[in-house]
A and B are shown apart, each in its own frame.
Chain A
Amino acid sequence: MTGTIDPTVINLVVFVLAVFVGYHVIWNVTPALHTPLMSVTNAISSVIIVGAILAAGPYETDFGVILGAVAVGLAAVNVFGGFLVTQRMLEMFKKKTPKAEKEKA
């Protein structure tokens, strides 16, 4: 076997491993926090904003750049909205009497 590995193959390797990591990490999430899980995954999938930034990057302003900027705006709604609303929810789960987590652990 000779030659370099196609980037798509490397991507596939990363993809499969990441799905496995996701599978195991998510099953450990406590059901009580499934709503914050959803809002934080929303924020995380908005890392698609890096693609939007690249799209808005070129100097020659054409419609691709405009679309990129719109995508940056949309993804930014999610980045800020997702993380902040998650934080807001998690604040509500703050303990007032600090004993129960020891029982659970």
Chain B
Amino acid sequence: MSANLLALWYLAASVLFILALKGLSSPVSARRGNLFGMVGMAIAVLVTLAITKNVAFILVAAAVGGTIGALVARRVQMTQMPELVAAMHSLVGMAAVLIAIAVVNNPSAFGIPDPMPRGNRLELFIGSFVGAVTFSGSVIAFGKLAGLGKKFRLFSSAPVAFGGQHVLNLVLAIVMVAFGVAFFLGEGRAWAPFAAMLAIAFALGVLIIIPIGGADMPVVISMLNSYSGWAAAGIGFSLNNTMLIIAGSLVGSSGAILSYIMCKAMNRSFISVIMGGFGAAEGTAAADGGDKTVRSGSAEDAAFLLANAESVVIVPGYGLAVARAQHAVKEMAQKLIAKGVSVRYAIHPVAGRMPGHMNVLLAEAEVPYDQVFEMEDINGELGTTDVVLVLGANDVVNPLAHEKGSAIYGMPIIEAQKARTVLVNKRSMAVGYAGLDNPLFYMEKTMMVFGDAKKVVEDMVKALE
């Protein structure tokens, strides 16, 4: 196959990747989009196999990995998607690093002159350090998301912070760049600076992620998504492979946009997320006077209110997913719909552990997506809603976000306080990630239903019968 023909096949694959992402603009076209992506990948792999040797050997390696991937894809729980995605980011990062090492070892296998020209060295340096940071950072993120913090402190979901952390990171980054420059200017293979640069990059990945708390995970996972794309693009530069550059840039910009959306939804600046330390002060509630009273009721009381409403909006939070109550909620909604109640769901962008997570969890419970609304689409209608049922959510319905001077001022919220009646299910009066008290709970029209979300919702279902 001529180099030109190869490049054209790669172009076809690149276009298919763009179409794959474009398909995600609606649930209807998304499956076809995913198919485009698969076809693009098949083209990319097949034409590359056609120009290489050792095909059988490569296919064995691919079969082993592919089998593992397929099994994981089939077995993973939807609540575990954030962990899976973090694990997959780490694999992209590691693959980038391994390829970079192979390039240094034998540039001619990739059609790069040996010794490697300076330009390729620079690109390889960028691709491999981003890959290394992606790998180790994603491993830490995976550990935090998978709840390994109890066994290893490194994976603690509380921020791991120590004095001089930022200075240390900065110094390491400078030293890493210095080794990168040494690799760039070096003669021959220049293994020593390359290896030193990689080692520091791995350490940096760990150090960057450990101070970031559990609440900021949606940003972290999006950020690592972005890094994995830039790593692929960097490798594409050093191999002069435009398809890799295109695919990598698409993924890189996707992750960057998701990070931006998540930051905005949490009212946090990207810089402050990266600097970390957020979520450390959990449990330090704003104890401003004990004169506020909370009205609480049983699941049966709540069911009575729901059954007599005309319109109900359910606000699911991550507490719902933790309690695995999605199916019970769907059952309850069906019962209410059968009684002629209009039931809709309002989703805050950070309702889950990663962007769009809650939508997937509801879809898994077979909640039809035309009942599921994004925050900005439904907020305007909450004023005319009879009952808002908040399940396992706290900060995302905290009206303090509208009050100047509060820690979450400016954060977009689901305006549950506008509804005629508000039902809130929580396990206790504990504060959310932001460490703030929630005035919504003390409003006269609010009734708290304490208990595990699944138990409470199941009791409501029983009461509705």
Contacts and interface: CB of A to CB of B under 8 A. Distances in A.
B451 to A, nearest CB: 28
Interface stretch (B244-252, B383-391, B410-418, B428-436): B244-252
B41 interface: yes
Given A45-B92, A45-B229, A99-B370, A53 B106 contact: no
Contact of A35 (B13, B240, B355): B355
A13 to B, nearest CB: 9
Given A34-B258, A47-B232, A64-B101, A82 B30 contact: no
B233 A51 contact: no
Contact of A52 (B84, B95, B349, B363): B95
B99 A71 contact: yes
Given A25-B22, A92-B363, A42 B69 contact: no
A49 B95 contact: yes
A11 B84 contact: no
Using C-beta atoms within 8 Å of the partner chain, give the interface range for chain B.
35 or more
Contacts of A41: 21, 225, 229, 250-251, 254-255
Interface in B331-361: 347, 349, 352, 354-357, 359-360
Contact of A53 (B31, B49, B233, B242): B49
B30 A23 contact: no
Given A33-B30, A87-B31, A90-B30, A45 B72 contact: no
B57 interface: yes
Contacts of B210: none
A78 B91 contact: yes
For B49, B58, B242, B359, which residue has the most chain A Cβ atoms within 10 angstroms?
B58
Interface string A64-90: 110111111111111111111111111
The B interface, classified by DSSP as helix, strand, loop or mixed, is helix
The A interface, classified by DSSP as helix, strand, loop or mixed, is helix
Contacts, number: 378
Contact of A33 (B14, B244, B354, B356): B356
Contact of B61 (A42, A54, A70): A70
A85 to B, nearest CB: 4
Contacts of B49: 53
Contacts of A84: 69-70, 73-74
Contacts of B65: 72-77, 79-80
Contacts of B355: 31, 34-35, 37-38
Given A15-B245, A44-B37, 20 more contacts: A15-B249, A22-B21, A23-B257, A33-B27, A39-B88, A43-B37, A51-B235, A53-B49, A56-B52, A57-B58, A74-B94, A76-B61, A79-B69, A80-B69, A85-B72, A85-B73, A92-B360, A95-B27, A95-B369, A100-B370
